[in-house]
Amino acid sequence: MMQRAALMLAATALGFVPVHAQDDTASERIDPDIAAANAALDAAPVFDGHNDVPIQIRARFDNQLVNFDFTDTSGTADEESGRNAMHTDIARLRTGKVGAQYWSVYVPFRLPEPEAVKMTMEQIDITKRLIAKYPDDLALALTADQVEIAMAEGRIASLIGMEGGHSIGSSLAVLRQMYALGARYMTLTHNSNTPWADSATDDPKHGGLSDFGRDVVREMNRIGMLVDLSHVSEETMLDALEVATAPVIFSHSGARAINGHARNVPDSVLEKLPQNGGIVMVVALPGFLNDAEREWFASRSAEEARLKSLFRGQPDIVTSAMAEWDEANPTPETMISHMADHIDHIKSVAGIEAIGIGADFDGMPIGPVGFEDVAGYPALFAELSRRGYSQVEMELISSRNAIRVLRDAERVSSSLRSQPAIETLIPEAE
């Protein structure tokens, strides 16, 4: 017992508290910040903005639920395919005090648009069937009220988010039907441009949103679908904020001032968020959090390109040399503290009401040390408590801001109910 306590104290001193490895009562006796985190998350369970379980079910199980056990996915590692075990299951969601989750119905962004539309519908189907298979633990939620009801019942409110505007096939009619099927946000792009919006990670084509793209934002506001600006360019973010009459979200992004990755949100946008009422749901992907890891990856990519140029047609030499480089240059560790740094910065620029959590579990290889899977949210909030965040502030970050944004979008939609559907067609030339 003394040895276990000593280990726990050492872990606390290092900033890593494996909350899911012990019961709450024992951990709270060791660290009052864990007690504060648990109190906040018991009052306002986590409402996470982005989780990729649906595409994992497709990739690993061909969208067949008969062999998929969502109560425990810890044994889903596959050495042959090189896949790690999944980050998410009901047991760990419970340990992580998750009360609501946007499940991403991502489909590959390089698909032709008609195929993307079809596959998105299939992913909505698998998500709904997954929810229906576990009615004691999961509840489909379409409104803010339904989120709160599910939480009060002790079930995990399950919402659907589309990741990438390619999923609507440049059609406002398809957009409306996706909403009717249950989608409650759409990320305007993924890693490449759509025919009407620029991505953060593609060469700019439209200078932000095209005229049709602006109509997409207007129609999303009209029907009550949240506009998600993760993955889009800075110009697209600013254009969307100019057009939007409802709060926007960034379902899984960080702060660019802390890590310069293009996927993160620049201060020029953060400064405008309070007026819009939107939120940045802070991501856990290490390369977006720790700038040292971003620079490490750039150096590794440059070294690999150099070796391939020097040893053309000799892949064995390249592989051997890269193995030596990796041994000499280990990946920098990303900690929970890096994630908290992004939260601190967003708070300083946009305010506490502009922050949420959107970890991106099962859409990345692994999270930060101590936050490797969905069981780790209490450890993050213990870190926030150490930094002086009050219980009220932690509750806003965990779920109250996300619920408020969803409810505000519903309110805007209700006010626009008398307006007819926008019937713009994307010009053939675009």
pLDDT tens across 201-211, in order?
999 999 999 99
Q: Are 394 and 362 in contact (CB under 8 A)?
A: no
Q: Are residues 198 and 242 in the same domain?
A: yes
User: What is residue 29's predicted lDDT score, i.e. its pLDDT?
Assistant: 67
Residue 14 within a domain: no
Residue 6 within a domain: no
Q: Which of 332, 347, 364 is the last residue of a domain?
A: 332
Structure-derived torsion over alpha carbons of residues 11, 337, 52, 64, reported in degrees to the nearest 10: 0
Q: Are 336 and 379 in contact (CB under 8 A)?
A: yes
pLDDT tens readout for residues 373-383: 999 999 999 99
% helix, strand, coil for the chain, step of 5: 50, 15, 35
Q: Are residues 65 and 171 in the same domain?
A: yes
- Identify whether 345 is a catalytic site residue: no
Residue with tokens 């998105």: 120
Separation of CA 63 from chain center: 21
The enclosing domain of 240 has a CATH number of: 3.20.20.140
Domains: count for the chain = 2
Q: Catalytic residue among 52, 293, 353, 393, which?
A: 52
Residue 423 within a domain: no
Name the band, by pLDDT with cuts 50, 70 and 90, for residue 417. confident
Residue with tokens 């609501």: 100
Residue 148 within a domain: yes
Q: Catalytic residue among 87, 166, 190, 261, which?
A: 190
Residue 30 within a domain: no
Q: How far apart are CA 400 and CA 40, in angstroms?
A: 11
Q: Are residues 199 and 322 in the same domain?
A: no
User: What is residue 345's predicted lDDT score, i.e. its pLDDT?
Assistant: 98
User: What is residue 427's predicted lDDT score, i.e. its pLDDT?
Assistant: 76
Mean pLDDT of the chain: 93
Average pLDDT (20-48) is: 81
Pairing label, strands 183-187, 226-228: parallel
Q: Catalytic residue among 20, 87, 206, 231, which?
A: 231
- Identify whether 360 is a catalytic site residue: yes
Name the band, by pLDDT with cuts 50, 70 and 90, for residue 25. low
- Identify whether 252 is a catalytic site residue: yes
Query: With 80 as the cut, is the pLDDT of residue 429 above it?
Result: no
User: What is residue 308's predicted lDDT score, i.e. its pLDDT?
Assistant: 97
- Identify whether 163 is a catalytic site residue: yes
Q: Which of 310, 332, 354 is the last residue of a domain?
A: 332
- Identify whether 338 is a catalytic site residue: no
Residue 133 within a domain: yes
Query: With 80 as the cut, is the pLDDT of residue 188 above it?
Result: yes
Query: With 60 as the cut, is the pLDDT of residue 22 above it?
Result: no
Q: Catalytic residue among 48, 163, 239, 395, which?
A: 163
Q: Are residues 67 and 79 in the same domain?
A: yes
Residue 2 within a domain: no
Q: Are residues 207 and 326 in the same domain?
A: no
- DSSP code per residue over 325-365: HHHHSPPPP-BHHHHHHHHHHHHHHH-GGGEEE---BTSSS
Report the share of the chain in percent with pLDDT over 90: 90
User: What is residue 425's predicted lDDT score, i.e. its pLDDT?
Assistant: 85
User: What is residue 27's predicted lDDT score, i.e. its pLDDT?
Assistant: 57
187 phi and psi angles, rounded to 5 deg: -75, 125
pLDDT tens readout for residues 281-316: 999 999 999 999 999 999 999 999 999 999 999 999
Residue 367 within a domain: yes
Q: Which H/E stretch holds residue 275?
A: helix 273-276
pLDDT tens readout for residues 67-126: 999 999 999 998 887 889 999 999 999 999 999 999 999 999 999 999 999 999 999 999
Q: Are residues 97 and 142 in the same domain?
A: yes
Q: Catalytic residue among 20, 166, 252, 345, which?
A: 252
- Identify whether 383 is a catalytic site residue: no
Q: Which one-letter amino acid corresponds to residue 380?
A: L
* 137: its two tokens: 């633990």
Instruction: Give the residue among 292, 300, 364 at the shortest CA–CA distance from 327.
Output: 300
User: What is residue 424's predicted lDDT score, i.e. its pLDDT?
Assistant: 87
Q: Are residues 254 and 120 in the same domain?
A: yes
Q: Are residues 350 and 305 in the same domain?
A: no
Q: Are residues 285 and 314 in the same domain?
A: no
Quickly count: other Cβ atoms within 10 Å of residue 10's Cβ.
Answer: 10
User: What is residue 21's predicted lDDT score, i.e. its pLDDT?
Assistant: 41
Average pLDDT (144-164) is: 98
Name the band, by pLDDT with cuts 50, 70 and 90, for residue 17. very low
Measured at the CA of 40, the angle between CA 37 and CA 45, to 5 degrees, comes to: 105
Average pLDDT (227-244) is: 98
254 CB-contact burial (10 Å; exposed 0-12 / middle 13-18 / buried 19+): buried
Separation of CA 153 from chain center: 25
Measured at the CA of 81, the angle between CA 315 and CA 187, to 5 degrees, comes to: 100
Average pLDDT (2-8) is: 32
240 phi and psi angles, rounded to 5 deg: -65, -40
- Identify whether 50 is a catalytic site residue: yes
Q: Are residues 259 and 368 in the same domain?
A: yes
User: What is residue 8's predicted lDDT score, i.e. its pLDDT?
Assistant: 33
Q: Which H/E stretch holds residue 159?
A: strand 156-163
Q: Are residues 200 and 303 in the same domain?
A: no
Domain span at residue 295? Answer: 291-332
Query: With 50 as the cut, is the pLDDT of residue 7 above it?
Result: no
Q: Catalytic residue among 31, 33, 48, 50, which?
A: 50
Angle between helices 211-223 and 172-181 (to 10 degrees): 30
User: What is residue 138's predicted lDDT score, i.e. its pLDDT?
Assistant: 98
Q: Are 189 and 164 in contact (CB under 8 A)?
A: yes
Q: Which of 332, 363, 390 is the last residue of a domain?
A: 332
Q: How far apart are CA 27 and CA 159, in angstroms?
A: 32
Q: Which one-letter amino acid corresponds to residue 321?
A: A
Q: Catalytic residue among 31, 344, 360, 410, which?
A: 360
* 402: its two tokens: 């996300």
Average pLDDT (27-38) is: 85
Q: Are residues 219 and 103 in the same domain?
A: yes
